[in-house]
Amino acid sequence: MKDDIVAIATPLGFSAIGVIRLSGPNVINIVKRVFSPRRNKDLEKVSSHTLHYGNIIYKDEIIDEVLVAIYKAPNSYTGENMVEIFTHGSPIILEEILKILVEEGARIAERGEFTKRAFLNGKIDLLQAESINEIIRAESKTALKRALSKLKGEVSKSLRELKSKVEHLRIYLEASMDFPEDVEEREREDWLRRLEEIKREVSYLLEKAERGDWIKGGYRVILVGRPNVGKSSLFNALMKEDRAIVTPIPGTTRDYIEGELYLSSGHLVKIYDTAGLGIPKDILDKMGMEKTEKILEKSNLILFVVDGSGEISEEEINLFEKIRSYQNKEIILVINKVDLPQKVELSVFSEDIEKIFVSAKEGIGIEDLEKAIERHISSQELEDGIFLNVYHREKLKEIYQFCEEGISVLINLPQSLDILGDILYDMEKAFGEILGEEVSLDIADKIFANFCVGK
């Protein structure tokens, strides 16, 4: 990593200012050759973290009036010498200065290359590097907060603590490895307790990662019910716009429609209007229903909609019972069409189910429904959600399995301390990979490829 990289760090388009960023051993010298400071000073001699006013001049022509920030290794974002040039925010100026800097010897940076250098120079670990992208892309306040906590190293810290617990256990174990028959029962029980504790903590982390997922992707609320009960009308009422087609013909919504809602609490909610579930009349119906079942699986909260002005059919009750039998799904029973005379017999549903009465058509009870959704979200303790990418999630699942194997070895093969030692070693290694200590450049590259240029 000895070359000098350059990129435009602000989005292309017209703006008040634009920023060009450089990193590498010679970047101060490169900029010095095209920058004419107002006060005659030598950029290579100024101190780190200073700002300098002047012109970018190329072939005797002033390109722009700029501010130049100098950061010296190792106290910069990347850990290398860095320069940031603040220009006027014209794409023409930015492109021109970029071209000049390339002619002076800098190379156009790849996506995420600045952050990758920060990672490779030990300024941040892999999880922190990734959080920078998550901060930029955060779609809600909650997502931003979680990404910032990851940048501060809170996720890394819990992983590092777990890793060192594994390491300690392995060291104890190694001390007894040569004489496994001398290991006392008390000692073995202690190891077992430690391993079980690690397993528990890994499983907490996995749960938190799941919560992190839906902080990022939104809390998924799905509207389900037999055709014509008013799901699409309710979707529109929640979205406050006419997005789903509402018609008196059953089965209009054959696919599903997704809408995004930002609650005042800062949470992102994704609402799905689905094809009515029931007995399919044709192949399109059938496909729609299959899709519905797929998103049902991924949803966090189910709004089971019934028509209060009609009677509940046998089929509807069966559907309701089927949905209730899904694990980990929260359900609200929404009784729609309260503006009409009510015929519905609610005693067919169990008493403990939460019920909300609405009229999608007249806008009655919609706020209550929103509040109920909020309540379900806040009961999820999402504030502790963490962001883990799929590779790291898989690693963590692997670690969980190692825990189970280790426990089983301790119980069933108490003399085979060497096997247990190997398992613990693999666990440490897996933790190291998540933290980027054991550089798996493959994963690192995949992560940085998602970055925008200039980060």
Q: Among residues 142 and 253, whose Cβ is nearest to ligand GDP?
A: 253
> 131: which residues sit within 8 A by CB, 6+ positions away?
147, 148, 150, 151, 155, 387
Q: Which does 336 bind (CB under 5 to 8 A by kind): Zn ion, ligand GDP, none?
A: ligand GDP
Q: C-alpha distances in angstroms, 337 versus 254, 259, 293, 319, 346? A: 22, 22, 25, 20, 14
**How many angstroms separate the CA atoms of 401 and 395, rounded?**
10
248 binds ligand GDP (CB under 6 A): yes
List the structure tokens of 185.
């029962």
The residue with its CB nearest to ligand GDP is: 230
Q: Note whether 230 and 336 are within 8 A (CB).
A: yes
336 binds ligand GDP (CB under 6 A): yes
The residues in 270-329 that bind ligand GDP, with binding defined as CB under 6 A, are 276
Least distance from Zn ion to the Cβ atom of residue 247, Å: 8
76 binds ligand GDP (CB under 6 A): no
> Would you say 247 is a known binding-site residue?
yes
344 binds ligand GDP (CB under 6 A): no
253 binds ligand GDP (CB under 6 A): yes
115 binds ligand GDP (CB under 6 A): no
> Would you say 41 is a known binding-site residue?
no
233 binds ligand GDP (CB under 6 A): yes
Least distance from Zn ion to the Cβ atom of residue 341, Å: 23
The region of 37-45, 67-75, 221-229, 381-389 touching ligand GDP under the rule CB under 6 A is 221-229
List the structure tokens of 166.
């594994």
List the structure tokens of 100.
């000049």
6 binds ligand GDP (CB under 6 A): no
The residues in 351-370 that bind ligand GDP, with binding defined as CB under 6 A, are 359-361
Q: Which does 361 bind (CB under 5 to 8 A by kind): ligand GDP, Zn ion, none?
A: ligand GDP
Least distance from ligand GDP to the Cβ atom of residue 338, Å: 7
> Would you say 78 is a known binding-site residue?
no
**How many angstroms separate the CA atoms of 117 and 124, rounded?**
9
Among 161, 199, 164, 183, smallest CA distance to 418 is for 183
Q: Among residues 79 and 230, whose Cβ is nearest to ligand GDP?
A: 230
Q: Note whether 225 and 316 are within 8 A (CB).
A: yes
337 binds ligand GDP (CB under 6 A): yes
Q: Among residues 118 and 237, whose Cβ is nearest to ligand GDP?
A: 237
> Would you say 443 is a known binding-site residue?
no
Q: Note whether 162 and 156 are within 8 A (CB).
A: no
Q: Among residues 361 and 393, whose Cβ is nearest to ligand GDP?
A: 361
The 8-class DSSP code of residue 42 comes to -
Among 311, 313, 310, 355, smallest CA distance to 337 is for 310
Q: Among residues 344 and 360, whose Cβ is nearest to ligand GDP?
A: 360
Q: Among residues 212 and 278, whose Cβ is nearest to ligand GDP?
A: 278
**How many angstroms separate the CA atoms of 22 and 82, rounded?**
5
Least distance from ligand GDP to the Cβ atom of residue 243, Å: 12
Q: Which does 121 bind (CB under 5 to 8 A by kind): Zn ion, ligand GDP, none?
A: none
> Would you say 229 is a known binding-site residue?
yes
> Would you say 275 is a known binding-site residue?
yes
Q: What does the DSSP assignment read for 315-376?
A: HHHHHHHHHHTSTT-EEEEEEE-TTSPP---GGGS-TTSEEEE-BTTTTBSHHHHHHHHHHH
Among 28, 56, 155, 229, binds ligand GDP (CB under 6 A): 229
> Would you say 249 is a known binding-site residue?
yes
Would you tell me the crossing angle of helices 154-176 and 126-137 to the nearest 10 degrees? 160
> Would you say 3 is a known binding-site residue?
no
Q: Among residues 149 and 342, whose Cβ is nearest to ligand GDP?
A: 342
Among 29, 48, 252, 380, binds ligand GDP (CB under 6 A): 252
**How many angstroms separate the CA atoms of 195 and 169, rounded?**
8
Q: How many CA atoms lie within 13 A of 405 on its CB side?
A: 17
Least distance from ligand GDP to the Cβ atom of residue 230, Å: 3
Q: Are strands 354-357 and 330-336 parallel, antiparallel or unpaired?
A: parallel
Token pair 């800098």 is found at 106
Would you tell me the crossing angle of helices 126-137 and 113-120 to the nearest 10 degrees? 150
Q: Which does 128 bind (CB under 5 to 8 A by kind): ligand GDP, Zn ion, none?
A: none
> Would you say 455 is a known binding-site residue?
yes
> Would you say 233 is a known binding-site residue?
yes
Q: Are strands 219-224 and 257-262 parallel, antiparallel or unpaired?
A: unpaired
Q: For binding to ligand GDP (CB under 6 A), which residues are involved?
A: 225, 227-233, 246-248, 252-253, 276, 336-337, 339-340, 359-361
Q: Which residues are annotated as a binding site for Mg(2+)?
A: 232, 253
Which residues participate in the annotated binding site?
21, 84, 123, 228-233, 247-253, 273-276, 455
Binding residues for K(+): 228, 247, 249, 252
